[in-house]
Amino acid sequence: MKRYHVIVEGRVQGVGFRAFAQSHAIQENLTGSVRNMENGMVELYVQGEPAAIDRFLDAIQNGTRWIRVDDLTVKEVPVDPAEKKFRTSYSYGWY
């Protein structure tokens, strides 16, 4: 089990990126969260099996015809044993 903090840069706001990320996370049985940042980037936390996380990161990096990922910054962080699902924030903060 691994957990990563990911910052996504590119055309990732207003194009369905959060829903896209959540869909792929659920498909891979990952937990975590995704939210827009005020600077136009998107912040993710993703947790699960390393191979599933790799597939998830590949999928979001490839995007869709509307989503364009220019850069991913990925940092390993401690696992959160209490986390049970993948959630999306619809504002510039967690709630």
**Alpha-carbon span 47 to 1, nearest angstrom:** 7
Q: Could you say which of 11, 18, 35, 55 is catalytic?
A: 18
62 is catalytic: no
Residue 12 · residue 42 · CB < 8 Å: yes
87 is catalytic: no
Q: Could you say which of 3, 36, 39, 62 is catalytic?
A: 36
**Beta pairing class for 68-76 and 31-36:** unpaired
For the annotated catalytic residues, the residue numbers are 18, 36
